[in-house]
A and B are shown apart, each in its own frame.
Chain A
């Protein structure tokens, strides 16, 4: 602590204070308006009628701008392909040691709740905040936790890489297939209510046409993709790292 020069600390204090002041002034300068303008007013007024989804953000992501979302999830798909290709030559050393008993039991109790939470976030994506991207990330977190706490052989026994591949490709196919239904109905790629998907009653679980299906597709894709990225990257950690005794965090 005292080895650092005194002037260093003064300088960092001044930097922090001025940065904070600038941020607060930026917040204060934001315009406070009572009504929304532009496309936002259109979305707020017509989302319920045009898509049947209560979550406006989800409706924009998976209905109005669904093509954009297809591109976004393709970006993840491409990243997963690239990373898996980079590390494909590495031989993966499976470890079954894991962490201590306390961590194993604790995570064993938490994992069912985490899975339920992820499913709820995906399946209720058209009603409440959340959706495929967020829920898929939580699914990937579960596999990462299992991999770290129980060892990678346990994780690959329950979620083999082959299953992840099938899930990810299945998500992409499901998304594109839903889009092609709209094309076949003659209303355009990825169109929702206009292509004949039932709108359901507003606010109920089965509503909003294709939005829940697209949520599930994106959730499959993101969950399997991020999990594959983690799985490929721990190969790199393992390569230059011999198993010293009692290492315990592999």
Chain B
């Protein structure tokens, strides 16, 4: 019984990860500019891969494998946001303005810093 419960929970988590990956792909194709696309692309990792890894950790036969999968998930959670942040910041610094944005707080704060 507990095996059934564990495996079904694992499958639910993996299906959720697959859904996040699909949503991320659709977002990358459909979104208008680079910032929203980066936002969608990070979901493939922080949502998709992490959920799949957690599901695999539940499904794994021994706790050593589960620990490894948790470590991989933690590494992805730590590095992927940093990379996306660096990419989007570099894009902004090179003059790409966000499409369809009315409030640009980052640019305003930069201007304020430059004036003072």
Instruction: Give the interface of A toward B (CB within 8 A).
Output: 99-100, 102-103, 106-107, 109-110, 113, 149, 246-249
Cross-chain contact A107 with B82 (CB below 8 angstroms): yes
Closest 9 CB pairs of A and B: A106-B82, A249-B90, A103-B86, A248-B93, A99-B86, A246-B93, A103-B82, A102-B85, A100-B89
- Tell me whether B78 is interfacial, beta carbon within 8 Å: yes
Cross-chain contact B89 with A248 (CB below 8 angstroms): yes
Which residues of the partner chain A approach B79 to less than 8 Å between Cβ atoms? Answer: 106, 110
Which residues of the partner chain A approach B75 to less than 8 Å between Cβ atoms? Answer: 110, 113
Q: How far is the CA of A102 from the CA of B89 in the complex (A)?
A: 11
Cross-chain contact B89 with A106 (CB below 8 angstroms): no
Interface size class of B (residues with CB under 8 A): under 10
Which residues of the partner chain A approach B78 to less than 8 Å between Cβ atoms? Answer: 106, 109-110
Which residues of the partner chain B approach A149 to less than 8 Å between Cβ atoms? Answer: 86
Q: How many A-B residue pairs have CB under 8 A?
A: 28
What's the dominant secondary structure at chain B's contact region? Answer: helix
What's the dominant secondary structure at chain A's contact region? Answer: helix
Cross-chain contact A247 with B93 (CB below 8 angstroms): yes
Additional pairs, 18, CB under 8 Å, beyond known A102-B82, A106-B79, A248-B93: A99-B86, A100-B85, A100-B86, A103-B82, A103-B85, A103-B86, A106-B78, A109-B78, A110-B75, A110-B78, A110-B79, A113-B75, A149-B86, A246-B93, A247-B93, A248-B89, A248-B90, A249-B93
Q: How far is the CA of A149 from the CA of B75 in the complex (A)?
A: 18
Which residues of the partner chain B approach A246 to less than 8 Å between Cβ atoms? Answer: 93
Cβ contacts A to B, 8 pairs, < 8 Å: A99-B86, A99-B89, A100-B86, A106-B82, A107-B82, A110-B78, A149-B86, A249-B90
